[in-house]
Amino acid sequence: MTKPAKPAMRPANTHFSSGPCAKRPGWTLEALSDAPLGRSHRAKIGKTKLKQAIDLTREILEVPADYRIGIVPASDTGAVEMALWSLLGARGVDMLAWESFGAGWVTDVVKQLKLSDVRRLEADYGELPDLSKVDFDRDVVFTWNGTTSGVRVPNADFIPADRKGLTICDATSAAFAQALDFAKLDVVTFSWQKVLGGEGAHGVLILSPRAVERLETYVPAWPLPKIFRMTKGGKLIEGIFTGETINTPSMLCVEDYIDALLWAKSVGGLEGLMARADANAEVIHRFVAANDWIANLAVKPETRSNTSVCLKIADNDVSALDADAQAAFAKGVVALLEKEGVAFDIGHYRDAPSGLRIWAGATIETSDMEALMPWLAWAFETQKATLSQAAA
């Protein structure tokens, strides 16, 4: 069998990981030279930087003025856990899950918080649950964009404006790339390390007035660790939402986030960021449409992510293999791309179906995504040739 020829073009930036994600174009360490290293985050300069990060977040994400924005510990996971442990238990809760992170929140609520009145609305990878069955008289927890399945809700139309419960939305791979309808969302969480390519370890928690009211009128039946506490004496600790963080943040990471936010402004804010992600995802979708050996894991086009694009190997010979052999084939494709130095960290998430997961967020240049596509074909053909030789 003839050995496939390698493509002539290579991506200039080969970082296609789904988190931490690629830094913004042109990023260098020198961009962080204004970070107040060695200074207290409680000093005026530290508080000023943290408030700047919050204010820019509000501006670029177009967060309503009466919503609070706080920088919290432990990435998006910490932000979600703060919401679950502080807000749930006041009424029944509907838990939506269609990929591993959503399933993790279900586990936390059922096995850790041990709530008794929990409904689980779940779907397999590639699908959404039946959103018409969600009861918004109850609290509702869901991911906007399933990072490990590449399936997102197309919009917030399924959420009523007159809901009685709170909506708690893990938006970590959606924020800054998809239009979040804040009027329909009471809690929104994300981390810097996704669409804006920030450094890890910090999360952002956004609360609606309804969520604040719940915090000030409801006391959970369980003790709360210090890093989860957002009220004191029945009142919201407002300082958390003006830059007085619960624990010590990395001012280097804060500076990096500010740098990313300023870059986001320079490319047109939210509209510009979404357009960049859409263009990158479209490159992949066109490639998939033109090649029958690969398919989008998301079944319905309107639910396909424009950030974490998850793909499966659809070749008949590969599909005929058992699950372990299919996973080995996909890992072989990923390994070839890494060995050639053209794409790093694009394997499927460990709990997801085997295949590829390519980050298409705003920090990726569309020219790099276009350069990557021929390499996907080369890697598949090379791996397929190896499979054929082994079967001969």
CATH number at residue 53: 3.40.640.10
Q: Is residue 6 part of a domain?
A: no
Query: CA 213 → CA 81, 210, 365, 385, distances in Å?
Result: 18, 5, 42, 61
Q: Which two tokens stand for residue 353?
A: 């179906």
Element (H, E) at 57: helix 44-61
Q: Is residue 128 part of a domain?
A: yes
Count of Cβ atoms closer than 10 Å to residue 12 Cβ: 10
Q: Verify that 201 and 316 share a domain, yes or no.
A: no
Element (H, E) at 152: strand 151-152
Q: Verify that 132 and 209 share a domain, yes or no.
A: yes
Q: Which residues, in sequence order, are bridge partners of residue 72?
A: 203
Last-in-domain residue among 249, 265, 281:
265
Q: Is residue 371 part of a domain?
A: yes
Q: Verify that 181 and 193 share a domain, yes or no.
A: yes
Q: Which two tokens stand for residue 291?
A: 């090649």
Q: Verify that 193 and 333 share a domain, yes or no.
A: no
Q: Mean pLDDT, consecutive 10-residue segments, the chain of 392 residues?
A: 87 97 98 97 96 98 98 97 98 97 96 97 98 98 98 98 98 98 98 96 97 98 96 97 96 98 98 98 98 98 98 96 96 98 97 97 98 98 89 68
Q: Is residue 23 part of a domain?
A: no
Distance of CA 334 to the CA centre of its chain: 21
pTM: 0.97
**pLDDT for 301:** 97
Phi, psi for 367 (deg, rounded to 5): -65, -35
Q: Verify that 142 and 47 share a domain, yes or no.
A: yes
Q: Is residue 12 part of a domain?
A: no
Query: Which of 360, 186, 386, 204 lies closest to 287, judged by CA?
Result: 360
Q: Verify that 289 and 339 share a domain, yes or no.
A: yes
Distance of CA 63 to the CA centre of its chain: 18
Q: Is residue 242 part of a domain?
A: yes
Q: Verify that 212 and 335 share a domain, yes or no.
A: no
Q: Which two tokens stand for residue 314?
A: 């659809």
Q: Is residue 9 part of a domain?
A: no
Q: Verify that 176 and 197 share a domain, yes or no.
A: yes
Question: CA-to-CA distance for 58 and 265, rounded, in angstroms?
Answer: 12
Q: Is residue 10 part of a domain?
A: no
Q: Verify that 236 and 328 share a domain, yes or no.
A: no
Q: Which residues, in sequence order, are bridge partners of residue 141?
A: 95, 168
Last-in-domain residue among 265, 293, 311:
265
Q: Verify that 193 and 213 share a domain, yes or no.
A: yes
Q: Verify that 290 and 198 share a domain, yes or no.
A: no
**pLDDT for 387:** 85
Q: Which two tokens stand for residue 284?
A: 């992949």
Can you give the residue range of the structural domain that contains 320? 269-391
Element (H, E) at 139: strand 139-143
CATH code: domain of residue 373: 3.90.1150.10
Alpha helices in 222-365 (DSSP H): 251-266, 269-290, 316-319, 323-340
CB-neighbour burial class of residue 352 (10 A; exposed 0-12, middle 13-18, buried 19+): buried
Q: Verify that 287 and 183 share a domain, yes or no.
A: no
Last-in-domain residue among 265, 285, 303:
265
**pLDDT for 392:** 64
Determine the 3-state secondary structure of 200 from DSSP: coil
Distance of CA 122 to the CA centre of its chain: 19
Q: Which residues, in sequence order, are bridge partners of residue 120?
A: 95
Phi, psi for 192 (deg, rounded to 5): -70, -20
Number of domains making up the chain: 2
